[in-house]
A and B are shown apart, each in its own frame.
Chain A
Amino acid sequence: MRKIFLIGVKDVKIRARDPSAFIMLLVMPLLLILVLGMVFQPLWTSTPFIIDIAVLDEDRGEFSKILLEEVFGSEQLKDMVKIKYVESEEEIINEVNKGKIAASVIIGEGFSQSILKGEDTRIKILADPEQTIKAGVIKNIVESFTLEVLKRRIILGTSIGILVSENLINPAEIQPLISVWLSDVENMNESILIDKKTEKKMTKNPLAIEYYAVGIAVMYLLFATNAGAETIFQERRNKTLERIKVAPVSEREILGGKLFGIFLIALLQFVMIIFFTAIFYRVSWGDSLLGIVIMIFFSVLAFSGLSTLLASLTKSEEQIGNIGPALSMIFGFLGGSMWPISAFPDWLNIISKFTPNRWAIDGFSKLMYQEGGIISIFPEVFVLLLMALIFFSLGVLRLRIKGVKVD
């Protein structure tokens, strides 16, 4: 293990002393983030953050009216949430599949009556998995609404029960009380906004510089891991690979050291970009430090695997030097580093799922805009881990067949 660590650290040291690597791996992405962020910011802010939703209201009762007219129709939300009323679930599914709506809200028949009677009921939300940020906002609003309704129902039910059992109130007087209660509920949109996290997220329009901080940092990960992978060929060219092989170091340690070096170079680059953008560009990477650490780790792991595979498929430093940047650009384009996935047509959207960029960007976006915490990024982490395992397995297998050869 010690030799693996030492080989990796040595590779980082060598890379750190290469001025061209410094420019390529740090200066370039930071400049690109700044330029793209500044150039595209007017475009982003001039486009309002609008969430299109479909609503199937089979209830048409007091509570559905409150949700649709008083909550979604409130001053704070009416310009952001655009409702399309539909008549069936099929219509909703059709709209979701077309990508025209971010989410749909289905309020079943007898929803309001069930609340009044104290019976269990539900609101169904269908989300477009491609528009996670917008769907998340709608989910937050509906959850806050149902929570408020539930709280008031419990308080009122308990209070009425006590008043009746203690003979302090005549059952005939209950009805006027319910009217008062409903009036309170109508004003609950303010309560929803008390939840500051929800309010922030609902009103926050992602800044261009924030989006590109994630997108470009992820895209340049492949540049960094490729730079690490190039050292395998450099060792061969400099004959230092021969020298390591005549030292008492196993082939597994040599390969492990080289892979660790790839990982370490990319990790340092990514962390430095995050720090720099957070401090100097004021990019908010989210509140979950652990979530960020996890996303960094698995993103770097996936890209390290990809570069290992690339190194195993190429024959020289020049080849990896030519193919690597092209691949980074293609993956950056397909994976959403250049512009948001939501702007992609369906077919491109599907292709993007085969790039680690897409999953890394999605994961970071969740932490930045939805504040979903660690649990919310599990799908992205799982896919990145899966990609890392596949890429590393294929890459290492091929490298071992090639045998990190010197002759």
Chain B
Amino acid sequence: MNIVEVKEFTKVYNARKAVDGISFEIKKGEAFGLLGPNGAGKTTTISMLSCLIPPTSGNAFIEGKSIIEEPIEVKKRIGVVPQDIALYPTLSARENLFFWGEMYGLNGTKLKEKVDEVLQVVGLTERSNDRINKYSGGMKRRANIAVGLLPSPKILILDEPTVGVDPQSRTNILESLKGLNKDGLTILYTSHYIEEVEFLCDRVAVMDLGKIIAQGTQNELRLLAGKMDSLKIATIDEVQLILVEVIKKISETEEVKIADRAIEILTLQGRKVLPKIIELLGNNGIKIKSVEVKEPNLESLFLHLTGKELRD
């Protein structure tokens, strides 16, 4: 069952298409990732989906409710975690949560219980009475996420929620979200960090220049990237050109390049041929500096589809 259905979403700003006719669906209980570089149109897509800005054309439905015709019904069903820390800095986390809870129509005991619950989820119970402006960046991010969880949403929409966060807090946040997803919460997660999307999301849509250039499960997308592993061996000594032909034979591939004391190999069985190549180099008195094995991933997919790095 689809919780979200986006149909031909388009947003035009000053004759420039920020989002260009994208469509996708999110199933109940799924963690769906929108991956793309800055300026790809992820935030605009989320803003339209959250009824914050209207689409120029197209429509989207949350549990069958149109974002254009029934925005209030849609807003009741979503929890949104914006990219920025959208909290009142001189109020405590608890006061912020009470205010936002009331904005979602919660009150009384139900509100108090819900505030306690989300504070527990994001691990801020002990510091809940501290003002937000006394929090570290990571704690602010967690409080920001807590607000999104308050309305017990059908879908939690997160827009780059880990920007500017230290690695430890980032891991905490991602693990919390993974746990929530396991408990049945549907998640729409945007990021330009591949590892976050790979860690969290079942299905991914890759965006660039306002368009979805690929979407599917992670495995489906890896297949799109091609099946070749990439081996990169840096050496201390120069590699004689004569060895290239031997390596091609061992690797069963023609894709071997030698340049600047490094060998780059594209092969179907990277891990299998690597020991043989290392042995060959050793027998020829060539000392190895480092070895890198890259299996097909979303980064290589993006490179494959657009010809540029995701973080360009």
Contacts and interface: CB of A to CB of B under 8 A. Distances in A.
A407 B85 contact: no
A243 B99 contact: no
Given A3-B102, A246-B78, A249-B103, A238 B51 contact: no
A242 B52 contact: yes
B75 A246 contact: yes
Nearest to A15: B90
B52 A246 contact: yes
B269 to A, nearest CB: 49
A246 B51 contact: yes
Contact of A6 (B47, B85, B91, B102): B102
A239 B76 contact: no
Residue from B51, B78, B86 whose CB has the most chain A CB atoms within 10 Å: B86
Interface of B: 47, 50-53, 72, 75-76, 78, 80, 82, 84-91, 95, 99-100, 102-105, 147, 151
B75 A247 contact: yes
Given A238-B86, A248-B76, A249-B103, 5 more contacts: A14-B91, A17-B90, A246-B78, A406-B52, A407-B53
A9 to B, nearest CB: 9
Given A3-B102, A6-B103, A406-B52, A239 B88 contact: no
Contacts of B78: 246
Interface in A201-255: 238-240, 242-250
Given A406-B52, A407-B53, A242 B82 contact: yes
Contact of B47 (A3, A248, A407): A407
A240 to B, nearest CB: 5
A14 B90 contact: yes
A18 interface: yes
Interface of A: 2-3, 6, 10, 13-14, 17-18, 238-240, 242-250, 406-407
A248 B91 contact: no
Closest 3 CB pairs of A and B: A243-B86, A239-B86, A239-B84
B72 to A, nearest CB: 5
B91 A238 contact: no
Nearest to B72: A248
A245 B76 CA distance: 12
A149 B139 CA distance: 82
27 contacts: A3-B103, A6-B99, A6-B102, A10-B91, A10-B99, A13-B95, A14-B88, A17-B91, A18-B90, A238-B89, A239-B82, A239-B84, A240-B87, A242-B82, A242-B84, A242-B86, A245-B52, A246-B52, A246-B75, A246-B78, A247-B75, A247-B104, A248-B75, A248-B103, A248-B105, A406-B53, A407-B47
Contact of B85 (A10, A14, A239): A239
B91 A13 contact: yes
A248 B71 CA distance: 8
Contacts of A244: 103
Contacts of A250: 72
Contacts of A240: 86-88
B218 to A, nearest CB: 29
A14 B76 CA distance: 26
Nearest to A406: B52
B104 A248 contact: yes
A237 to B, nearest CB: 10
A246 B104 contact: no
